[in-house]
């Protein structure tokens, strides 16, 4: 289980709107909100630099976040992060208040282990991952870091099913059917690899010109959409 919390120092804000959000970002801050637990939402601002650092680590949705406002700590979990469609920087964060009694659904990454010990590895087999994350229902204060899938014993032609793995204690899948996590495929022949490379080269050549023509217009459109969605 993850034990280290993300920590943010925040300031309350009284005003909202796109103009306010743009002004905050010019000061290297971003707007955010804390909601839930039957309490009134609190509008806040946090450091844009810190927000982007934590978001880019890739664990923000599965790691508890302590948000401190005027000396008071709020235990939260990020539930929604708005990012700029062109620059991919954080624009706004929604934090949910949580406690030891809060149950949530969260996507937890899959971690494959013991691949070197699997029979398919020595046979040249290929692991095709179908799901890199599994949706789990668990307590907000006990989110597992990952779901481990032990590949030892798998051979070419096998499939890794949800029923084949042991989920972390205190969790259950949010999907009520036996889903496929990964498949083990036979190695590709030289002819298959050459055919795939030729197809990929053709796709790249055909798409290059149209992508270059559309790039400027798409960026301008995305910039406008970001402003409309922002506070």
Q: Is the pLDDT assigned to residue 18 strictly greater than 50? A: yes
Q: Is the pLDDT assigned to residue 227 strictly greater than 80? A: no
The pLDDT-based confidence of 193 (bands split at 50, 70, 90) is low
Mean pLDDT calculated for residue range 82-95: 94
pLDDT at 226: 47
Residue (of 13, 25, 75) closest to 51 by Cα position: 25
3-state secondary structure of 166: coil
Q: Is the pLDDT assigned to residue 49 strictly greater than 50? A: yes
CATH 2.170.120.20 domain range(s) in the chain: 104-190
Q: Could you tell me the strand order of the sheet in which 172-173 lies?
A: 147-150, 103-113, 133-139, 172-173
pLDDT at 187: 85
pLDDT at 197: 73
Q: Is the pLDDT assigned to residue 17 strictly greater than 60? A: yes
CATH 2.40.240.10 domain range(s) in the chain: 6-98
Q: Is the pLDDT assigned to residue 148 strictly greater than 70? A: yes
Report pLDDT digits (tens) over 114-125. Answer: 999 999 999 899
Domain 6-98 has CATH 1.10.490.10: no
Least confident of 5-19, 67-81, 185-199: 185-199
Helices (H) and strands (E) in the chain, counts: 4, 13
Q: What is the DSSP letter of 145?
A: S
Q: Are strands 39-47 and 180-185 parallel, antiparallel or unpaired?
A: unpaired
pLDDT at 2: 44
Q: Percent helix, strand and coil across the chain, each rounded to 5?
A: 30, 35, 30
The pLDDT-based confidence of 203 (bands split at 50, 70, 90) is confident
The pLDDT-based confidence of 206 (bands split at 50, 70, 90) is confident
pTM of the model: 0.73
Q: Is the pLDDT assigned to residue 112 strictly greater than 60? A: yes
Report pLDDT digits (tens) over 50-86. Answer: 999 999 999 999 999 999 999 999 999 999 999 999 9
The overall average pLDDT reported for the chain is: 86
3-state secondary structure of 192: helix
Domain 104-190 has CATH 3.40.50.1980: no
Cα separation, 50 vs 77, in Å, equals: 16
Q: Are strands 6-12 and 65-69 parallel, antiparallel or unpaired?
A: parallel
């Amino acid at each position: 289980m993850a034990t280290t919390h993300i920590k943010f120092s925040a300031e309350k804000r009284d005003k909202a709107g796109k103009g306010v959000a743009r002004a905050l970002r010019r000061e290297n801050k971003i707007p955010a909100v804390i909601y839930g637990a039957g309490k009134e939402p609190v509008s806040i601002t946090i450091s844009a630099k810190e927000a982007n650092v934590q978001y880019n680590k890739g664990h923000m949705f599965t790691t508890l976040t302590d948000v401190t406002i005027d000396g008071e700590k709020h235990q939260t979990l990020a539930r929604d992060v708005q990012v700029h469609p062109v620059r991919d920087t954080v624009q706004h964060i929604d934090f949910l208040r949580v406690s030891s009694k809060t149950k949530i659904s969260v996507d937890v990454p899959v971690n494959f282990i013991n691949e070197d010990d699997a029979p398919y590895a020595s046979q040249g087999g290929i692991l095709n991952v179908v799901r890199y994350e599994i949706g789990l229902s668990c307590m907000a204060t006990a989110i597992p870091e990952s779901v481990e899938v032990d590949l030892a014993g798998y051979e070419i032609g096998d499939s890794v099913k949800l029923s084949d793995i042991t989920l972390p204690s205190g969790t259950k899948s949010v999907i009520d059917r036996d889903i496929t996590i990964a498949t083990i495929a036979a190695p590709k022949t030289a002819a298959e690899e050459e055919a795939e490379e030729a197809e990929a080269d053709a796709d790249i050549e055909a798409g290059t010109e149209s992508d270059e023509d559309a790039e400027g217009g798409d960026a301008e459109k995305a910039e406008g959409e970001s402003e409309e969605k922002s506070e």
